[in-house]
Structure 1
Amino acid sequence: MNVEAYIKTGGPLPLERRTIIHLVLVHNHLQDQLTQALKPFDISLQQFNVMRILRGQKGNPANLSTINERMVSRMSNTTRLVDKLIAKHYAERKTCPENRRKVEIRLTPKGQEILTEMDRAVDAVEREVLKPLDEGQMKELNHLLDLIF
């Protein structure tokens, strides 16, 4: 991608600025592609992330703090995301019998089933987006990104 042409600048950008803009453009492109893949399921990327976190608990409940710590995109509205999943019957919330202040959140069977379908849609987008890269290039890209973050 020619960043300068894309953002219609008159000339070359300083390398640091070009790199940052390029990363932002790639991020936006990926987010758009993933959002489109999840659109038929009426699920946001953040809700999808919460569902994957809950699945990763392997049947054990999670609390809001655990979910928030593991979010790819951390935000303060984790409660709202969980509430939306509960409204769709993809997750359930129960008060812990031993500690009534503790709330336990789990995926429902319906949530697990729909998550499997969403996984297929997201996997297809990931394969398509990364098709131009071979395994070595993906490893190198991950290494370079690790140097930044």
Structure 2
Amino acid sequence: MKIDEAIQQTKKFSTEWQKAVINLVYTSSWVSAILEKRAEHKQITLSQFNVLRILRGQYPNPITNNLIKSRMLTNMPDISRLIDRLVLKGLVDRCKSNIDKRAVSLLITEAGLQVLQELEEEMLLNDILPKNISEANCKRLNELLDTFRGCLESESENN
């Protein structure tokens, strides 16, 4: 479905750039809603899934809240509460840091690894993406998004 139809736009966009921005925001929200619903099958949120993936990437080494916060896909102001919920669910363990006795390190549990394994395929959208976009177009989309973000990142560094 074209973006004009999806948002029931009756007036033509003033520029292709305006259309692209609206399309990015709409598509991001659409994908997030699908992923949230899928994560819900394991009683976790999309942000919690992201934390588990970060922890798995460092496994078996524990990491700090700050490292997790710096690697999150979306801005999470209260990472501590998010971690608290994962600890309560038994998906993450807290342990004392060997380097800094005041710091707390986090480690994904076997249960957390199991949740990721069970959700992984669903969260990759392999049931949607290959039906709607070729691998070549997906590669091109990745290149375009990387280029777009690169321009924005260099602009934000200058401000």
TM-score, scaled to structure 2: 0.86
Q: d(CA) in 1 for partners of 2:97 and 2:85?
A: 21
Q: Deviations over 1:76-106 (max 9, x none)?
A: 2111111000000000111225532111100
Q: What residue is the counterpart of 2:13 in the other structure?
A: 13
SS of match in other structure, 2:67: helix
Q: d(CA) in 1 for partners of 2:51 and 2:63?
A: 10
SS of match in other structure, 2:117: helix
Listed as ranges, the gaps of 5+ residues in structure 1 are none
The alpha carbon displacement at 1:8 in A equals 2.7
Q: d(CA) in 2 for partners of 1:46 and 1:147?
A: 25
- Structure with the greater relative contact order (CA < 8 A, sep ≥ 6): 1 or 2? 1
User: What is the letter of the counterpart of residue 19 of structure 1?
Assistant: A
Q: d(CA) in 2 for partners of 1:146 and 1:99?
A: 37
Identical pairs, percent: 30
Cα distance change of structure 1 residues 97 and 147 upon mapping to structure 2, 3 Å threshold:
closer
- The within-5 A match list for 1:134-149 is 134-149=134-149
TM-score, scaled to structure 1: 0.91
Q: d(CA) in 1 for partners of 2:73 and 2:66?
A: 14
User: What is the letter of the counterpart of residue 3 of structure 1?
Assistant: I
- The within-5 A match list for 1:123-134 is 123=124, 126-131=125-130, 132-134=132-134
The alpha carbon displacement at 1:64 in A equals 0.7
Listed as ranges, the gaps of 5+ residues in structure 2 are 150-159
Give the number of equivalent residue pairs.
147
User: What is the letter of the counterpart of residue 129 of structure 2?
Assistant: L
SS of match in other structure, 1:76: coil
